[in-house]
């Protein structure tokens, strides 16, 4: 049973490098780091996909080609195509427990990331769509911080629907991209650790 690694974001050049596409950027970075560069369009399942091996583990990389709030449409089809069986390195017994979703998180400051498991969407529309599609929240998330912080390091989370929407759909500035780059590298290392050693090992190492 392959690991399914999803990078949430909006498709299209106009959304490239926006804050809401941090998850998609992270999975693209992981693909390059792991030599899994053969992305192709799967028009039936509405996703851009790549696959291969990380160590002795099969992985499928999924970049939904629907807008963020419809992400579950593609993800659900890939999860349902996987057979259920036990004995995985992470202790997972269902296809969803071999699902990893990377996404932008306003509850974390830019420059940080965190691995989580079995938690609510936190209001993230893409994650809400995935949870509805796979009918469980028992899967791994790699949360990538995008919110600003004060000079003292305190979170300055944007507030208000209009402000938040404008913030997440704006492209990262040059300084922000410089801060994000080592985070993307860390996310790639975390994804590799989850696949090869299991979620708990990765959480102990990267959280």
* Stated pTM of the model: 0.93
- pLDDT band at residue 84 using 50, 70 and 90 as cut-offs: low
Q: In which residue are the tokens 């699902």 written?
A: 99
Judge whether 20 counts as a catalytic residue: yes
CA–CA dist 191, 97 (Å, integer): 14
For the record, the structure tokens of 156 come out as: 């300055």
| List 16, 20, 124, 175, catalytic entry | 20
Q: Phi and psi for 15 in degrees, rounded to 5?
A: -100, -5
Calculate mean pLDDT across residues 80-101.
70
**pLDDT (0 to 100) of residue 85:** 59
Q: Where are the domains of the chain?
A: 3-206
Give per-residue pLDDT as tens, 89-99: 444 457 788 99
Give per-residue pLDDT as tens, 4-42: 999 999 999 999 999 999 999 999 999 999 999 689 999
In our burial notation (b when 16+ CB lie closer than 10 A, e otherwise), range 116-150 reads: beeeebeebbbbbbbbebbeebbbbbbbbbbbebe
Question: In 10-98, which ranges are E strands?
Answer: 40-42, 47-54, 57-64
In CATH, what is the architecture of 3-206? 3-Layer(aba) Sandwich (3.40)
């Amino acid at each position: 049973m392959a690991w399914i690694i999803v990078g949430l974001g909006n498709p299209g050049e106009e959304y490239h490098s926006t804050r809401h596409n941090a998850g998609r950027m992270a999975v693209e970075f992981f693909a390059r780091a792991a030599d899994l560069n053969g992305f192709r369009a799967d028009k039936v399942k509405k996703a851009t996909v790549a696959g291969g091996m990380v160590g002795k583990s099969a992985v499928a990389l999924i970049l939904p080609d629907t807008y963020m709030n419809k992400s579950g449409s593609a993800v659900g089809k890939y999860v349902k195509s996987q057979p259920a069986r036990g004995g995985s390195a992470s202790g997972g017994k269902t296809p969803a427990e071999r699902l990893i979703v990377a996404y932008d998180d306003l509850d974390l400051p830019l420059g940080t990331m965190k691995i989580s498991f079995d938690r609510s969407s936190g209001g993230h529309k893409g994650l809400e769509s995935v949870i509805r599609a796979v009918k469980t929240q028992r899967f791994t998330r790699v949360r990538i911080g995008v919110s600003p912080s004060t000079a003292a390091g305190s979170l300055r989370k944007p507030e208000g629907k209009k402000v938040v929407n404008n913030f997440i759909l704006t492209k990262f500035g040059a300084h922000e991209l410089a801060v994000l780059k080592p985070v993307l590298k860390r996310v790639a290392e975390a994804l590799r650790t989850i696949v090869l050693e299991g979620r708990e090992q990765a959480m102990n190492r990267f959280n």
